[in-house]
Amino acid sequence: DTGVSQDPRHKITKRGQNVTFRCDPISEHNRLYWYRQTLGQGPEFLTYFQNEAQLEKSRLLSDRFSAERPKGSFSTLEIQRTEQGDSAMYLCASSLGDRGSYNEQFFGPGTRLTVL
Amino acid sequence: RKEVEQDPGPFNVPEGATVAFNCTYSNSASQSFFWYRQDCRKEPKLLMSVYSSGNEDGRFTAQLNRASQYISLLIRDSKLSDSATYLCVVTTGSARQLTFGSGTQLTVLP
């Protein structure tokens, strides 16, 4: 399967714990996005990487959230001191293109986080 | 006010019916426009892009009106397999991040 993959698919944690998610984009894609989706809502943009550079961050991305893409390939999203409000589906998407242009974003299957 | 607003739904229609979804967006600087489809507990997938000239893909027709900031999707001869949530999406910003509406749930009944 050469699509976007995410790991884990499901994560249950207790409030206050730290969690880390991984996203492996389509191999030649230089752009990587993280979105969050809560029940009954559409996905909301969190952050964007062009290669290894994090170029955009939503105001939704509080200081408890950090994302990295160290070698311009896979990315990690860490949430520190999780809160019940962090419970959501975390979606990763990748695309190919230069800054300022649009190409289709392909989504991974998501990581469903439940904070107890 | 949300940046992308959609019909609240849900829509329950019989097989073979024609159903229309509407959407408005507030950011006049939005650059690209799409309809995505999301099946239950799955990731969103691109259904079609939307252009001012209107575009058609089989039973699906999409239309964009930039002046009124309005996007529509028409599904003709609906099938059971069309049952899903339909998300209206625009791109904004230099990152071309996607801004989604809340989605409209469609159920096609036998």
Instruction: Return d(Cα B54, Cα A9) in angstroms, integer.
Output: 38
Instruction: Return d(Cα A75, Cα B95) in angstroms, integer.
Output: 17
Instruction: Name the nearest CA neighbour of B20 among B11, B29, B30, B33.
Output: B11
To which residue do tokens 């860490």 refer? A78
Contacts of A55 in chain B (CB under 8 A): 94-95
Provide the pLDDT confidence category of residue B96 given band limits of 50, 70 and 90. Answer: confident
Measured in angstroms, the CA of A98 and the nearest CA of chain B are apart by 9
Nearest to A55 among B46, B87, B95 (CB): B95
Model confidence pLDDT, tens digit, residues A97-109 = 766 666 789 999 9
Q: Do B46 and A101 touch (CB under 8 A)?
A: no
Nearest to B102 among A40, A100, A105 (CB): A40
State which residue of chain A sits closest to B6, comparing Cα positions.
Answer: A42
Q: Hey, is the C-beta of B45 within 8 angstroms of any chain A C-beta?
A: yes
**SS3 label, residue B27:** coil
Tokens (6 digits) for A108: 């991974």
Pairing of strands A111-115, A10-13: parallel
Nearest to A102 among B96, B99, B103 (CB): B96
Q: What is the mean pLDDT of chain A?
A: 93
**SS3 label, residue A48:** strand
Q: Do A42 and B4 touch (CB under 8 A)?
A: yes
Model confidence pLDDT, tens digit, residues A37-56 = 999 999 999 999 999 999 98
Nearest to A102 among B31, B45, B87 (CB): B31
Q: Hey, is the C-beta of B97 within 8 angstroms of any chain A C-beta?
A: yes
Tokens (6 digits) for A74: 């896979």
Provide the pLDDT confidence category of residue B8 given band limits of 50, 70 and 90. Answer: confident
Instruction: Classify each residue of B86-95 as buried b or exposed e, where b means 16 or more C-beta atoms within 10 Å of its C-beta.
Output: bbbbbbbbeb
Model confidence pLDDT, tens digit, residues B19-37 = 999 999 999 989 899 999 9
Q: Hey, is the C-beta of B22 within 8 angstroms of any chain A C-beta?
A: no
Q: What angle do CA A66, A69, A71 make, to 5 degrees?
A: 150
Residues 6+ apart with CB under 8 A from A83: A15, A64, A115
Separation in Å, CA B21 to CA A38, B52, B92, B106:
22, 16, 22, 10
